[in-house]
Amino acid sequence: EPEVTQTPSHQVTQMGQEVILRCVPISNHLYFYWYRQILGQKVEFLVSFYNNEISEKSEIFDDQFSVERPDGSNFTLKIRSTKLEDSAMYFCASSVGQGGNEQFFGPGTRLTVL
């Protein structure tokens, strides 16, 4: 069964460093998303991406964040200068279509900023 994959599973970084989180969405899906979940809190939307551009972003997704689809399979989230409060689980998701279509989540990357 196709699934979303993410690497690495755990990333530890120093405050101020840049990190890149990687995702491979399900192959026939066209819409891609990043969500995050701070320990003990809700899953929060960060950004959605379609046709090589951002279709929607949240207030959390400020200038420190960027997304890219560098090739036909990968989808990345870059945090330019990490802060302590960026420590969270980051989930990539994908869906066939937009809006109400089912979104399937990857296993997540646990980001720890020291």
Partner 1 sequence: QKEVEQNSGPLSVPEGAIASLNCTYSDRGSQSFFWYRQYSGKSPELIMFIYSNGDKEDGRFTAQLNKASQYVSLLIRDSQPSDSATYLCAVNTILYGNKLVFGAGTILRVKS
Interface contacts to partner 1, rule CB under 8 A: 31, 33, 35, 41-45, 48, 50, 55-56, 58, 89, 91, 95, 98-108
How far, in Å, CA of 1 to CA of 64, rounded? 35
| CA distance to 2, 64, 95, per residue, from 18 (Å) | 30, 9, 28
Least distance to partner 1 from the beta carbon of 105, Å?
Answer: 4
Q: How far is the CB of 25 from partner 1 (least distance, A)?
A: 14
Contact 114, 14 (CB under 8 A): yes
Q: Which of residues 45 and 65 has its CB atom nearest to partner 1 in the complex?
A: 45
Q: Compute the least distance from the CB of residue 20 to partner 1, in Å.
A: 19
Q: Which residues contact 13 (CB under 8 A, 6 or more apart)?
A: 19, 82, 111, 112, 113, 114
* Least distance between partner 1 and beta carbon 74 (Å): 18
19 or 49: CB nearest partner 1 = 49
Q: In the complex with partner 1, which residue's Cβ is closer, 15 or 54? A: 54
Indicate the SS3 state at residue 84: helix
